[in-house]
Amino acid sequence: MAAAEGGGGGGGGARPDTTVQRAELGPLLATALKPGESWYLVDSRWFKQWKKYVGFDSWDMFGVGDPGLFPGPIDNSGLFGDPETQSLKEHLIDELDYVLVPTEAWNKLVTWYGCIDGQQPIVRKVVEYGLFVKHYKVEVYLLELKLCESSDPDSVISCHFSKADTVATIEKEMRKLFNIPAEKETRLWNRYMSNTYEQLSKLDSTVQDAGLYQGQVVLIEVKNEDGTWPGQHFLAKGSGFVCNSYNCRDSASLSQPGLCGLSNLGNTCFMNSALQCLSNTPPLTDYFLEDKYEAEINQNNPLGMRGEIAEAYAELIKQIWSGRQSHVAPRMFKTQVGRFAPQFSGYQQQDSQELLAFLLDGLHEDLNRVKKKPYLELKDANGRLDSEVAKEAWENHRLRNDSIIVDIFHGLFKSTLVCPKCSKVSVTFDPFCYLTLPLPLRRDRLMEVTLVYADPQHRPVQYWVVVPMMGAISDLCESLFKLSGVPAENMVVTDVYNHRFHKIFQMDEGLNHIMPKDDIFVYEVCKPSEDGSEYVTLSVYFREKTMRQSSNTSGTVLFGQPLLISVPKHKLTVDHLYSVVLEQISRYVKLPLAEEYSTPCPDKGTCNGSNGVVEGDIEEMEHQDGGQEGKEKLAEVDPCHSEGCMQIESARDLQPCKKQHFTFSLVNSSGTSEISSIVEGKILKLNAFSALAIDWDSDTRRLLFDEQEAQAFEKHGSMLQPQKKKAVVALRDCIELFTTMETLGEHDPWYCPNCKKHQQATKKFDLWSLPRILVVHLKRFSYSRYWRDKLDTVVEFPIRGLNMSEFVCDPRAGSYVYDLIAVSNHYGAMGVGHYTAYAKNKVNDKWYYFDDSSVSVASEDQIVTKAAYVLFYQRRNSEEHTAPSPPQEECDGMDTN
């Protein structure tokens, strides 16, 4: 949709100065969330520009801001997946894609800057999460429920509800949708699977408390005239129903022990995935099913949870392995976890590995056989044999930690630090519960860019370029040069957003500033000729004048792709700029017969009539067309054809044509407000990358622009070639990377006892002994200042016969060969997505796929995917059913971030 720049839906006249804006909005933006309040989403790009404009950021020491960065009306178009319905894109991330502001702050911003015409505010409610520990969160994405009648359960209508809405709200909506009279008695049911139902009897329960989740089917039944319920019929077909204490749904036919789904209680797939992996860990499950835990519960351990986590887990395992339920709703277990770990108490998406780490530690402390932990002083190796130091470390660990979790999951790893100054070697042995392995980082990155050629008749061309992951803008230009032949020194790299330059990059800036979703346009700007003339590169924006009776920017709409032109300083006149712009847009602007609108220009060549400008509302242009096509507003009537590049330094100044089709204004870098008018006939004093707007009236634009050609672009062969398959990494590559020596960072030094100071020592991890159940966490999520990323590299891991012996540095260690027993999967991006699990049933040795309440048969060839996140391996040898031996039987593998 067209972006009305400057005025939008609010005025600028009553806007206070930037100091007042900072003072008024600062406290509002720091407001704490309160349940039921309304907050508004604002596109982070617009908001960041506002902050720079008013000097809101801490780096702006003097708080003066940048008057050239006037942000214009609030523009949320970047958040919409569908501009027509204005529905949000999926998987937007707070602070990265949008910021949240309270109602009062939003109202002030709208009063000061207005909104883009036609855009509706994105308002969301604050909801309360948590059972025992309360958290408040703005509910950006509403919950989609599928509603149907009991008489026609296959016809569902999708509706969105807040988690703070009550079941009564759902019932009211369903009565309206299905035309059910108010006097008719109704009841609601959850449908968990095709034949499993749970009644929603508490109308005052919230959607969250009722455990409803995304995509949940809710069925309404109306009482018959004879006083019976239709449900007596649809529930009689062997379908399930709710039973009491554990919210389990009994199935009419018995299921295989262990093949029991877990209902999603609202973003709890992470918990379900971790629980299914642990449930299918034979030695741990046998321990609970045989009630061995009862004698070992430690209710007095100050580090434990009074045995409550262990008891809740035991009850859940017994339900899963009873063979009586097709699935259960683990509400009681989640309640207990939420009491002791507030981060898991709500219903926001979490990390299955983090829950797993908490659960293993919680079970360990609840089942610790050590009632009173002795104080032990750590001793350095001081040259002693590794075997002696390792044995001592393991025995000390067992003196304080002795539980089924230690028996099964704990191992030992060796850590070696060497001081770079005095060569002091420090060796320690530490226990671990799971092994966090780094993934080899990609060394390069594929970027889509559009090259805008200096030749005005050359359509823009899209390229795929391969650049170093941690490279600079200059690397991008060099890669593009190899594909296009355009010299890198003639390139200017820009980020185009909403018909303006969001950023013009310097050659030494890092590519990590460019997000995957940014629209990168590279402009060919010719170098100065040898006559020594000094050139200025200018930004040119297209604006269409609206019908408003004002001369300021509130009466204009930005459209098309901006242009970059290079002009000799001594030719910076309106007439010359007019001719340069006309030439640059000559490919897609169709001028009428010359005699009708202008006198012929005396310059060489004929006046070119093909000047096309991209429509104001065509946002896709920014991605597809070259920047040049729509960038400048219509060029003048008669661009005289000059062969060279944008500079046109050798061409004679064109004579002004009789009728000029656009006028110039000097504007801020966003093209949203005018700085001054342009005086004809004088040399203009413009700096590098000053921004000019060329303003068109609607009729001229409609008459002269060839919109189709303006949006036209070509694809380079690099775009058409099939992209290389993502690199596949072997699990052993990850293990080798984990055990590679590294130098500590300057912010993470080691205190050398010899030097008596912190040093950037070298550090190396080795595996000393490995446990019976080896849990491997693939470190897929990475964080940086500029973006958060998930590595979707496929890691090839063996289903059976993982030989870890070569990685164990204890020379006396036995054989460490493992078989896979479970995998926790994560699909989607970081902070969102979905968790599932593959697991091998210990009764029949077959693989199954666990997706919340659904359980299905799986084959081994389905298991190795890019979604694999946490792997569970069981040691193959005869010792796997006995308690671990001294240190060499236990192993290391630890999480070292």
**Residue bearing tokens 């634009």:** 701
pLDDT bin (cut points 50, 70, 90) of residue 627 is: very low
Going by C-alpha positions, the residue among 181, 359, 197, 158 that lies closest to residue 271 is: 359
Q: Yes or no: say if 583 and 635 are a contact pair by the CB < 8 Å rule.
A: yes
Rounded (10°) angle between helices 308-320 and 269-279: 80
What pLDDT sits at residue 668? 79
Q: How far apart (Å, rounded) are the C-alpha atoms in residues 346 and 857?
A: 31
- Look up residue 515 and give its two tokens: 């997000």
What pLDDT sits at residue 653? 39
Q: Above pLDDT 70, what percent of the chain? A: 75
Q: Yes or no: say if 687 and 536 are a contact pair by the CB < 8 Å rule.
A: yes
The mean pLDDT value for 461-476 works out to 87
What pLDDT sits at residue 760? 80
The mean pLDDT value for 868-888 works out to 63
Q: Find the catalytic residue in 645, 826, 834, 891.
A: 834
Of these ranges, 98-112, 710-724, 743-757, the one predicted with the greatest mean pLDDT is: 98-112
Look at residue 590 and tell me whether its pLDDT is greater than 80.
no
DSSP 734-769: HHHHHTS-EEPPTTS-EEETTTTEEE--EEEEEEEE
Q: How far apart (Å, rounded) are the C-alpha atoms in residues 596 and 612?
A: 19
What is the per-residue pLDDT across 175-218, written as a single tens digit (0 to 9) for each? Answer: 999 999 988 899 898 876 546 677 888 888 877 667 677 778 89
Full-model pTM: 0.52
Going by C-alpha positions, the residue among 720, 562, 730, 708 that lies closest to residue 630 is: 562
Please give the mean pLDDT across all residues of the chain: 75
Active site residue 269: yes
- Look up residue 528 and give its two tokens: 């100065």
The mean pLDDT value for 94-105 works out to 88
What is the per-residue pLDDT across 782-823, written as a single tens digit (0 to 9) for each? Answer: 554 444 456 767 888 899 999 888 888 888 888 889 999 999
**Residue bearing tokens 């877990």:** 262
What is the per-residue pLDDT across 44-95, written as a single tens digit (0 to 9) for each? Answer: 889 988 988 888 765 544 556 677 778 888 999 888 888 777 888 877 777 7
- Bridge partners of 411? 432
**457 Cβ contact partners less than 8 Å away, ≥ 6 residues apart:** 586, 587
What is the per-residue pLDDT across 746-782, written as a single tens digit (0 to 9) for each? Answer: 777 888 888 888 888 888 888 888 999 999 888 876 5
DSSP 613-657: ---TT-TTHHHHS-HHHHHSS---S-PBP-SS-TT-TTSPPPPPP
Reported in sequence order, the residue ranges of 171-310 that DSSP labels E, i.e. its strands, are 186-193, 196-200, 217-222, 241-242, 248-250, 261-262
Q: Yes or no: say if 2 and 557 are a contact pair by the CB < 8 Å rule.
A: yes
Amino acid at residue number 155: S
What pLDDT sits at residue 294? 83
The DSSP bridge pattern shows strands 461-468 and 444-452 to be antiparallel
What is the per-residue pLDDT across 6-16, written as a single tens digit (0 to 9) for each? Answer: 333 344 447 88
Using H for helix, E for strand and C for coil, what is the string for 441-473? CCCEEEEEEEEECCCCCCCCEEEEEEEECCCEH
Q: Find the catalytic residue in 269, 277, 477, 891.
A: 269
What is the per-residue pLDDT across 647-680, written as a single tens digit (0 to 9) for each? Answer: 333 333 334 444 677 878 888 777 767 776 666 6
Active site residue 499: no
- Look up residue 110 and give its two tokens: 């709208």
Q: Yes or no: say if 278 and 284 are a contact pair by the CB < 8 Å rule.
A: yes
Higher pLDDT, 131 or 874: 874
The DSSP call for residue 338 is: H
What pLDDT sits at residue 254? 44
564: helix, coil or strand?
Answer: strand
Look at residue 640 and tell me whether its pLDDT is greater than 70.
no
Look at residue 519 and tell me whether its pLDDT is greater than 50.
yes
pLDDT bin (cut points 50, 70, 90) of residue 714 is: confident
- Bridge partners of 425? 418
